[in-house]
Amino acid sequence: MEETAERPAHRIVIDTDPGQDDAVAILLALASPEIEVLGITTVAGNVPLALTSANARKVCELAGRRDIPVFAGCDRPLARDLVTAEHVHGRTGLDGTDLPAPAMPLQPAHAVDFLIKTLRAEPAGSVTLVPIGPLTNIAAALARAPDIATRIGRIVLMGGAYFQVGNVTPAAEFNIHVDPEAAAAVFACGAPITVVPLDVTHKALVTPPRLESFRAMGTPVGAAIAAWTGFFERFDKAKYGAPGAPLHDPCTIAWLLAPELFSGREINVEIETEGRFTTGMTVADWWRVTDRPANALFLGDVDADALFTMMTARLATLGA
């Protein structure tokens, strides 16, 4: 679809569990004229649902976008107890800077109902879903309304890993680990999928110069991003010995904006739901050693310098 003054190139719903890096992804989308955010749906993940729903609205208000509707979704995985990540993101999920309590209200509809209604109302193939947390809301919508699978333009998700394996268990990445049944359902739905795994996001590091470029924006948005990334890098730097924290979730929005910065393969991806040690593992057939048909574009690399140059330029426009 060509970008026009009337309709941006990408019309998206962001499904999220903010999380500092989720917040940066939302801000990047709102800073990009090629993208129209139809709504934000929240899910329990990094922190419980009440906090993710408040955090999404705080981020919209930070960007000056109280017009973005925010819908609360599922407060627990489909079939498991909720696992959260306060040890990474802090008690609020957005620790690092204090944002005021949101003034904008949550929408009365449930996130799953909004997803179904939107996908049925919009032209088939015109809406992209960008899940950057556990996939519970997306799977619940597909289970309730299987017809929407053929109406999804693409699902661009942050989750999983192949070469990096796992970050919450030896085998599993956090978003998939929280609700592997949901992830398995999404990968089986037949919609086009782009996967932004740890293999990519662990190359998108907020090094000290990149952190300083956020701070140097001189805007409330830049100050918040610098404070957030400065907070959660304490965990990743200690864990991986890296020079900065991975900025996971914004890579999904960046792929929509500049796919040429990324490389990957069309492969088969399945999710392990029963393994004794490997539940939540992303079984990515990177080397195509099975005859299972490809069901996802699985990204493997990114030009990190170009990525951060683009993101910094976009984010600097918010509140400037």
Dihedral sign, Cα of residue 101, residue 103, residue 104, residue 106: positive
Collect all residues with Cβ–Cβ distance below 8 Å to 313 and sequence separation of at least 6: none
Tell me the DSSP string of 115-141.
HHHHHHHSPTT-EEEEE-S-SHHHHHH
Closest CA to 191 of 157, 144, 159: 157
Across the chain, which distance is largest between two alpha carbons, in Å? 53
Catalytic, 177? Answer no
DSSP annotation of 259 reads G
**Eight-class DSSP state of 149:** G
Residue with tokens 């359902």: 185
- Strand, coil or helix: 86: helix
Rounded CA separation 105/113 (Å): 17
- Count CB neighbours of 250 within 10 A: 29
- 283 DSSP β-pair partners: 270
Catalytic residue among 10, 89, 202, 248: 248
The answer to whether the beta carbons of residues 199 and 193 sit under 8 Å apart is no
Q: Which helix (DSSP H) or strand (DSSP E) does residue 311 occupy?
A: helix 304-315
Please report which helix (H) or strand (E) contains residue 229, including its range.
helix 220-240
Active site residues: 248
